[in-house]
Amino acid sequence: MAYHLLQHDRTRAGILAESLEQALQAVRHCQRCNTFSENELCERCASARRDPSLLCIVETPVDMNMMEQSQAYNGLYYVLMGRLSPLDGIGPRELKLDRLLARASDGVVREVILATNYTNEGEATAHYISELLHGRGIGVSRIARGVPVGGELEYVDSGTLAQAVRERRSLD
Amino acid sequence: MAYHLLQHDRTRAGILAESLEQALQAVRHCQRCNTFSENELCERCASARRDPSLLCIVETPVDMNMMEQSQAYNGLYYVLMGRLSPLDGIGPRELKLDRLLARASDGVVREVILATNYTNEGEATAHYISELLHGRGIGVSRIARGVPVGGELEYVDSGTLAQAVRERRSLD
């Protein structure tokens, strides 16, 4: 991209450089949920129409956007900006999990929903956080794992099907 | 396939014809679970090592094989050999749901696990069967719906994510 801009489009390269510079100066982290924001509090944390008793924990701002697009959630968020990954040297300290703990213990949050990815690192992160919150009087839940909507058993992998059977839901 | 066999491989076409003829004569439906079987009872229904208190309902013999491959289930099955599909003229009578009802009411089955697909027809079929079994003292459950194993929120469709949030599981 850099080569293309330098060779074919030097004007736009200048505009891009300027925009990036502005973004670097303007965009910081929301003081409550840690996502990118131009203000001290992001749009969602500042909104009065959201349920402050629900706190959904996601790995990245992109994941938060996905949750928003699903239109199934109207609580607040906490964005980890990463995941536990010992091989990459990312532990609880690097993720600043003490900040998350302080956020979840504000007395208003009644349920923490762990929405980290269903990868190994995401699962480890969810497990660690659930242990961290255990015994603090805050409910902890994990987004469901199973067959995707529209999914046919014939095309679902064995691991997913096994989980779907183990975590079956009573209809009574 | 027919053109290829007739033009290039008439010997094997004969073998295929014979095998198909044999299969047509030998393969019938298991008297208990309705899947394909060469005997009155299929291998699984005849096995003493399976838990007869669990009955898993699937649409096709292929789905049953998928469940077996997942190695997460050790009960018995009932194969619908289809799904409710009013547009194709397949209703409860065509699916012989009264046979399923008789099978589930044998006094040994304690839980029926609905493992039809998460398509519209599969969902309708699961709903119909759960209503049918309601109030008969048999537990009814549905395999979990949600994010597949290894799934990242960024690449999961909105509908699946919405279900995963709605059907989140408490970790307390």
Q: How far apart are CA B56 and CA B73, in angstroms?
A: 9
8 Å CB contact of A149 and B118 = yes
User: What digits encode the pLDDT tens for the residues B76-85?
Assistant: 999 999 999 9
Residue pair A55/A113 in contact by the 8 Å Cβ criterion: yes
Q: What is the pLDDT of residue B2?
A: 87
User: What digits encode the pLDDT tens for the residues A93-151?
Assistant: 999 999 999 999 999 999 999 999 999 999 999 999 999 998 888 999 999 999 999 88
Q: What is the pLDDT of residue B80?
A: 97
Return the residue matching tokens 């497990």. A127
Token duo for residue A138: 């805050």
Residues of A (125-144) whose Cβ lies below 8 Å from B = 130, 139-144
Q: How far apart are CA A146 and CA A168, in angstroms?
A: 9
Q: What is the pLDDT of residue B93?
A: 92
Strands A36-37 and B169-170: unpaired
Cβ atoms within 10 Å of A69's Cβ, excluding its own: 12
Residue pair A124/A84 in contact by the 8 Å Cβ criterion: yes
Q: What is the pLDDT of residue A81?
A: 96
pLDDT band at A1 (very low <50, low <70, confident <90, very high): confident
- In angstroms, the separation between the Cα of residue A113 and the nearest Cα of chain B is 8
Token duo for residue B95: 């699916």
Q: Answer whether residue B58 shows pLDDT above 90.
A: yes
Q: For residue A59, give the chain B residue with the closest CA.
A: B153
Q: How far apart are CA B157 and CA A148, in angstroms?
A: 9
Q: Answer whether residue A172 shows pLDDT above 80.
A: no
- In angstroms, the separation between the Cα of residue B76 and the nearest Cα of chain A is 13
User: What digits encode the pLDDT tens for the residues B133-166?
Assistant: 988 889 999 999 999 998 899 999 999 999 999 9
pLDDT band at B89 (very low <50, low <70, confident <90, very high): very high
- Structural domains in chain B plus CATH codes: 27-145 (3.40.1360.10)
8 Å CB contact of B114 and A171 = yes
8 Å CB contact of A165 and B130 = no
Q: How far apart are CA B157 and CA A62, in angstroms?
A: 13
Q: How far apart are CA B83 and CA B127, in angstroms?
A: 11
Q: Is A2 on the interface with B (CB under 8 A)?
A: no
Read off the amino acid at residue A104. A
Contact list in B for residue A62 (CB cut-off 8 A) is 153-154
Preferred mutation among B79, B145, B155, B166 to probe A, highest tally of A CBs within 10 A: B145
- In angstroms, the separation between the Cα of residue B169 and the nearest Cα of chain A is 5
Q: What is the pLDDT of residue B172?
A: 76
Q: Answer whether residue B46 shows pLDDT above 90.
A: yes
Cα torsion at B58, B64, B68, B72 (round to 10°)? Answer: -10
Helices (H), chain B: 2-8, 10-26, 43-46, 61-70, 97-104, 120-133, 158-166
